[in-house]
Every structure is written in C-alpha cells, then in structure tokens.
Structure 1
Amino acid sequence: MQTVTSADGTTIAYDRIGTGTAGTVILIGGAFSYREFPTMVELAETLAKDHDLTVLNYDRRGRGDSGDSPGVYNVANEIADIAALIEAAGGQAALFGWSSGAALALLAAKTLPAVTEVVAFEPPFVVDAKHHVPPQDLEAKLHPMIAAGERNKTVRYYMTKAMGMPWLMVAAMRPTPFWKSLAANSNSTAHDWAVMKPYMRGKALDPADWSGVTVPVLVLAGERTAPLLIKGAKAAAEVLPNSEFAGLPGVSHNPKASALAPVVGEFLTRAR
C-alpha cells in the first residue's frame, strides 16, 4: 500500500500494480466498492499482466485505508484525490470507472487535463422517469444516518432509495459475509451521492454539461444488466463528444474482471 495526500489534507491509499510501458490507468470503484474488492484486484492484475499497463487501484475517500472528510461531501474533493494520484503516477493517466465511479471519472476528465482516456462502465444516470428516481430528500436523511454511525441502516437506505434495489434483495444480503464490507464502507455513500445527485433526477443529460470531456471515452454496459443502466450508458455515449459505446454479452452490473479486462485493455492501448 502507498498513499498520497489530497489538496484538503486527506490521505488516499492505493496499490500500484505493474510497471507497464503502455501507460497508466487509475481504477475508480462505485458505491460500496473499495480497492481490495476482488473484481477490482483481478482487473488491476489482468490489465498489468496482459496489456502492459501500470495500474493504480485506490480507496476512494471514506473507504478502506483512505481518510475521510466527515460532513464535507463534494465532487471537487474527489477530483482532487484523482489529481493527486495522477501526480503520483507521473503526470498523466487514463481512468476506468465503475458505476458512480464512472460518472466521477467523466467529471474528472472534464476538469483535469492530465486525464488521457476514460472507460466508463455503466454510469448510473437516470435519464427518464420510467425507472427508479431517488427521493428529493435523500441527502437530508442520509447525512444524519452517517453522522450517527448507523452503518447497517445506511446500507439499507442507500441501496433501496438511491440505487433502487428491492428491499427483499437487500434483506437477503444481510446475513451474508459480504454485508460486513458493505457496512464498513457505508459512510462513503454520501460521497457517491454528491457525484450522482444531479444526474439521477429522471431527466435527459444536457450535452453542455459534458462538452468539456474531449478525451477518448469508451462507455460500456453489460447486456444482462438493468435496463436503466443500459439506457444511462447509451445516453452518456450520445452526449460525450469523443465517445463510443459497447455492450458486453452475458455481463451484469457485477461483472467478472475476465469480461472487462480485454475490452478495457484493448481500448486504452489502441487509444495510445
């Protein structure tokens, strides 16, 4: 494990995998994800081994071994975390983002000229009201739960109200070993919501919001994932000025690294 210090003094922990000559990519997880999540670890190792990439796999703030900024949740801080990682990587890097991490990667690319390419896997944009739209008061209820240390309640609330998962599905997860990691990273959901809040209101994406993302972007969606996520991914590809879309056969929102790595690695090395 290595660390960098972000602009506001928060410590961000990361692993550096490989010393490839094909460039560097930073992996950005989605809600409840963390750098030791098996899919992220396997993806990092495969990109390094099979595609000669140097990979930085990090804990977003509020997760794992990274620090946090309790009560302060804004996208600028998370973009500053990525900027610090890019500096540690040598001054430029591509970004791979999963779910809310995909949205964060796109926002970072709009702001940071050191971003070279982006792969966005299923950014959870809610672009019409036909699907689940989070409640308007989500933030007002989420933040007090986090401040009170109600981790289990936070997991249930964010999964059902922000992500739109059926409560029976969430209840079935409660007795599993996986729940422990969900609860451990539940405080970070306020950071996820800061990223996603403007883009989960059931309205079409505004091309003007994304015109600044001029680097090459590959938007991915699994063909077995929820229709909301496929629709959001395609909408992103339509408004980004330098993007392409690809569907992944047999893949859901919880993909195997073996399905992601060949597509991600081919795009990043081709873009170079």
Structure 2
Amino acid sequence: MQKVSSADGTAIAYERMGSGPRVILVGGALCDRNALKPLAVELAADFDVVTYDRRGRGDSGDGTPYSVQREVDDLGALLTAVGGTAAVYGHSSGAGLAAVAASTGLPFTKVVLHEPPYGPDDVDSSEDGGRVLELIREGHGREAVELFLMMAGMPKEAAVETAAFPGMAEVAPTLAYDFAVMDHGAPGGRTPVHVLRKIMQPTLVVAGTASPPFMVDAAHRIVGILPAARLTELADQDHVVPPELLAPVLRDFLSR
C-alpha cells in the first residue's frame, strides 16, 4: 500500500499491481479498494492496475467539509502519483465520480462507466436519500445501509444481511458522499446531461441485462449523450459482475 496527499492534505491510500497501460479502478458506495481487487487481479496480466480507497474509507483519510471536487482532486493526485495519465473504470456511484472527474479535463485516456445509477428525469430520489442521511445523522448506520441497498434494488432480506457485515455501519457516513456525487450537475439523481457532454474520451458504458431496470435504462440513456461512447450489455448479469466475465470486456476496450 502507498499513499498520496490530495490537494487538501488528505492522505489517499492506493495499491498497484501488474504492468502495461495504466487503469484506475473506482469503487462504488460502501466499497474500499479491496472490493475491486479481484478485478484488478484479472487485469494485472495486461495492465498496470491501480485500486484506491475513496476518502473516508479503508486506509484513506477524510477532510471536512466534504465536496465532490475534493474527490475529483483525489483522483487528480492519484493520476500524478502513478505517472500522469491512465484509463479509468468506475462502478456504480464510482462511475458517477469517474464521469464528473473526466468532465473536468483530468487526463484520462479512456473512460468506462459501469452502471452509474442515474434515475429517470421525471423521478426525484432525494426523499429516500434524505431518509438515509437522517438515519446516518441519528447514528443508525446499519439501518441507513439497509435502506440504501433496498433503494438500489436489493431485496429486503439480502439488504438486512449485507448491512450486518462487519464494517458496514462504520462506512455508512460515506453514503452522503455518494449521494453528492450522483446529484452533481442534476439534483435528485437525474442524468447530468451537461456533465456527460464534456467527456471527450472514448467511453464504454457497461450494463447487465439482469440489473435493476432503472440502471439498464440509464446506461442506454447516457450512451446517447456521451460524445464518443458505445454500450456493452452483459447477458444475464446484474449490478455486480464476476471479474472473470467483466475483465475480458474491459481488456478488449482498453487495449484498442
């Protein structure tokens, strides 16, 4: 593990494995760098793969007040530390963060957005999100995680079980960061059209056909907005794809 200081002095922990063209993996809600390590292992034969802990998670520090720009700065510091340029893969809200970062002009060579959870433009998710944030403020981290996972389409029984995993309640406060990322440029979690239109790099949008319908719909919607994008659908896969199935798709796109 190594650390780099972000613009506000926050220490961001990261790991590297493999060799070849660089790619940074950005995790989604409730995930630290270990969540994407199996994917990193699959890619390491062909790429210099960087995984990191987003601020407030794992071995990274945090800073106050939070802002989406600080998470963009974290990626900028990470890019500088690993050599200046890299492709970026983001999953779920990590895809939302990757999209924001790419739109600011960070020197990503290619962008992969794996099911960023943008909602329909006629639906405002802020009420449910507000309840999650209220539970966090009240110190009910496990309940906040349960509600969030059900909002994301997970059945209640599975959400309750997952929320009870060790460490979940402790990382619950970072859900506020994910909501901020997904609200960036379009309050209520709607599709941030003007943000997406600024992404000029070749972009791959990935969706599983068995994922919640709103995520599949979002993938189709955003591929029509992005200036240089194509869509890959993974048959019978849901929001979390086995790395041995996902890695070949990424390898094909990133190697061209």
> What are the equivalent positions in structure 2 for 1:67-106 lying under 5 Å apart?
67-70=61-64, 72-106=65-99
**Cα distance in 2 between the residues matched to 1:200 and 1:168:** 30
Which residue, 223, 239, 242 being the options, matches 2:228?
A: 242
| Unpaired segments ≥5 residues, structure 2 | none
CA distance 1:13–1:149, shift in 2 (3 Å): farther
Which residue does 2:22 correspond to in 1?
Answer: 24
**Cα distance in 2 between the residues matched to 1:202 and 1:44:** 29
Which residue does 1:187 correspond to in 2?
Answer: 173
String of CA shifts for 1:66-90, please: whole Å, max 9, x gaps: 11125x2321010000001100111
Which residue does 1:260 correspond to in 2?
Answer: 246
Contact 1:145-1:154 at 8 Å conserved across structures:
yes
Q: Which amino acid aligns with 1:55?
A: V
Which residue, 119, 122, 126 being the options, matches 1:126?
A: 119
- Provide the aligned length of Structure 1 versus Structure 2: 255
Which residue does 1:13 correspond to in 2?
Answer: 13
> What are the equivalent positions in structure 2 for 1:1-272 lying under 5 Å apart?
1-18=1-18, 20-21=19-20, 23-37=21-35, 40-49=36-45, 51=46, 53-70=47-64, 72-129=65-122, 133-136=124-127, 138-139=129-130, 141-143=131-133, 145-147=135-137, 149-161=139-151, 163-174=152-163, 179-198=165-184, 199=186, 201=188, 203=190, 205=191, 207-270=193-256
String of CA shifts for 1:123-176, please: whole Å, max 9, x gaps: 11112447xx4233734x544544554321321233345x3544444224355x
String of CA shifts for 1:170-221, please: whole Å, max 9, x gaps: 224355xxx2232232121111011012557375x35433221000100000
Q: Using structure 1 for the length normalisation, give the TM-score.
A: 0.86
Shift in Å, 1:65:
0.7
Contact 1:117-1:268 at 8 Å conserved across structures:
yes
Q: Which amino acid aligns with 2:59?
A: D
CA distance 1:48–1:218, shift in 2 (3 Å): same
- The percentage of counterpart residues that share the same residue type is 38
Contact 2:145-2:163 at 8 Å conserved across structures:
no
Contact 1:134-1:164 at 8 Å conserved across structures:
no
| Unpaired segments ≥5 residues, structure 1 | none
CA distance 1:172–1:36, shift in 2 (3 Å): closer
Contact 1:29-1:99 at 8 Å conserved across structures:
yes
Contact 1:4-1:88 at 8 Å conserved across structures:
yes
> SS at 1:265's partner residue?
helix
After superposing on structure 2, the runs of 4+ consecutive aligned residues of structure 1 that deviate more than 6 Å are none
Which has the larger displacement, 141-150 or 118-127? 141-150
**Cα distance in 1 between the residues matched to 2:179 and 2:189:** 15
> SS at 2:181's partner residue?
helix
> SS at 1:170's partner residue?
helix
**Cα distance in 2 between the residues matched to 1:202 and 1:100:** 11
